[in-house]
Amino acid sequence: MTNEALNMDCMDYMRKCSDKQFNLAIVDPPYGIQELTGRKAAGGKGKLKNRLLNRTAKRFNQWDKAPSKEYFVELFRVLENQIIFGGNYFMLPPTRGFIVWDKCQPFPSFSACEFAWTSFTNPAKIFHFDNRTGGKIHPAQKPVALYKWILSHYAKAGDTILDTHLGSDSSRIAAYDMGFNFIGTEIDKEYFKEQEKRFKDHCAQGSLFTFSGGEVLH
């Protein structure tokens, strides 16, 4: 089984890949929210002042740039199928197969859910999972359980998974635990080091988590 992370620009990597080299992309690129809204990430107050996004707001504003058109051209060229978080922010073909992650979020000022565009013709699905946990290493970190649920519903045995924006390493850990081949790229050196440590710690501990499956609504 291949499981590899590369500290490099995903565009440089994909340009070297052959057509349909990978089976499934599960990617979470920057959405370009500050460009869309004209608002930058700002520090919170009270209980929110130590939130990871607030502690790294300046850094977040630097890398929150939406991907170029070439990114999507390459992503569709080298992959058989794609799952793209933040797909509602990008100009992508119509799909009936959206994934909705219900965050079980009780705070009205925060997003209650996130969307992922998919190239599949499956009916839209909802995954319910509360991600209010500590120990995050990335402001856009998603739970390993979410990626395991996606792999269990959209990947086939023997598939090779590509994540162009590895970030916190959740996708890599999920693929490792479930026995899928995996390649991930991360351009940021600090995040790359942090995800490497997280992955090595996870492997050293063994897989301590059993995927519960969440809840799926059609």
Same domain, 58 and 71: no
Domain hosting residue 51, numbered range: 32-65
83: Cβ contacts below 8 Å, ≥ 6 apart: 24, 25, 26, 27, 99, 116, 117, 118, 119, 150, 154
Same domain, 195 and 89: yes
Same domain, 42 and 25: no
Q: What is the pLDDT of residue 49?
A: 45
Q: What is the pLDDT of residue 63?
A: 62
Same domain, 9 and 49: no
Q: What is the pLDDT of residue 214?
A: 53
User: If you count DSSP H runs as helices and E runs as strands, how many of each does the chain have, helices first?
Assistant: 8, 9
Same domain, 58 and 137: no
Q: What is the pLDDT of residue 71?
A: 97
Per-residue pLDDT of the chain (218 residues; tens, 9 = 90+): 999 999 999 999 999 999 999 999 999 999 986 665 555 544 444 444 444 444 455 555 556 788 999 999 999 999 999 999 999 999 999 999 999 999 998 888 888 999 999 999 999 999 999 988 778 888 889 999 999 999 999 999 999 999 999 999 999 999 999 999 999 999 999 999 999 999 999 999 874 544 555 554 43
Q: What is the pLDDT of residue 132?
A: 82
Select from 173, 181, 166, 192 the least CA-distant residue to 28.
Answer: 166
Same domain, 106 and 159: yes
